[in-house]
Structure 1
C-alpha cells in the first residue's frame, strides 16, 4: 500500500474518533449536568425527574459503551500492538468495563448510588479522554 492509499483510512479514523468522542462525552455531560437540573428548575415533580433520569442514564451509558468500543477499534488500528500502554486505550477500557458493571448492577442489585457512581466514572473518564490528543496526533 502506498501512503496515499492509507490517508483516507487515517482520515476516516480521525473523523470517527472525533465524532464518537463528541457524541458520547457530550451526551453524558449534557444529560447529567444540564438536562436533568434544568428539568428540576422548570418545576417538574421530583418523581418525574427521577423517572426521566432512570430512563436516560442507562441509555447514555449504553451509548457511551458502543462509542468507546468504536474508539478502541480506531486506536487499535492507528497504534497497533502498542496501544495497550496508551492512556487513551486505558481510559476507553475503563469506560467499557464501567458500562458492563453498571448494567450488571442494574440487573442484579438495582442500587441507584452505585449506578450513579458508574455514570460519573464514565463522564470523568470521557473528560480526561477529551484532553488527550487524537491517535493520529500523538
Structure 2
C-alpha cells in the first residue's frame, strides 16, 4: 500500500464529527422554530412570552449553527480539499449558512425591529441545513 493511498482514506473521526455537528445544528434550528415555539403557543402561553423566548433562543441557535457549519467546513476541507468549499454543493451550503448567520447578527444589531428579515435569515439557515442533510458525508461519497 502506497503512502498516498493511506492519506486518501476518509477520517472516521471527521465523518462522525460532521454527522454530529449536522444533527445538533440542523435539528436544533428545526426543533426550535417548528416544534418548541408552536408547542408553547398550543399550551397557552402568552404571545408576548413566546416572542421573548424566541428572541432569546433564536440568536443562540444561529450562533451555534454558524459554529457547527465552520466545523463542518473544516471537515470538508480535510476530507476533500480547499477548493471543495466553492465547487462542491456541501461547501456552498456551508458558506451560505455562515454568511446568513453573519447577516442575521448584522440585521439584529442594526435594526432589532426587522423581525421579517430575522425570520427570513433563520428559515434560510434551516432550509440550507435540510439541503445539507441530503448531501453525502465527506469521504463516504464514493470518490465524488
- Normalized against structure 2, the TM-score is what? 0.90
Partner of 1:93: 95
Residue 133 of structure 1 is aligned with which of 117, 131, 136? 136
* SS in structure 1 of the partner of residue 80 of structure 2: helix
Partner of 1:66: 67
More helix by share: 1
Partner of 1:44: 45
Residue 117 of structure 1 is aligned with which of 117, 120, 131? 120
Partner of 1:29: 30
- Normalized against structure 1, the TM-score is what? 0.94
* Distance across 2 between alignment mates of 1:16 and 1:104: 29
Partner of 1:54: 55
Gaps of 5+ in 2: none
Gaps of 5+ in 1: none
* Distance across 2 between alignment mates of 1:93 and 1:109: 24
* Distance across 2 between alignment mates of 1:6 and 1:12: 14
Q: What's the CA shift string for 1:30-83, capped at 9, x where partnerless? A: 000000000000000000000000011111000000000000000011111331
Give the number of aligned pairs.
Answer: 137
* Distance across 2 between alignment mates of 1:115 and 1:5: 43
RMSD across aligned positions (CA): 1.5
* Distance across 2 between alignment mates of 1:3 and 1:49: 54
Q: How does 1:71-90 map to 2 (within 5 A)?
A: 71-83=72-84, 84-90=86-92
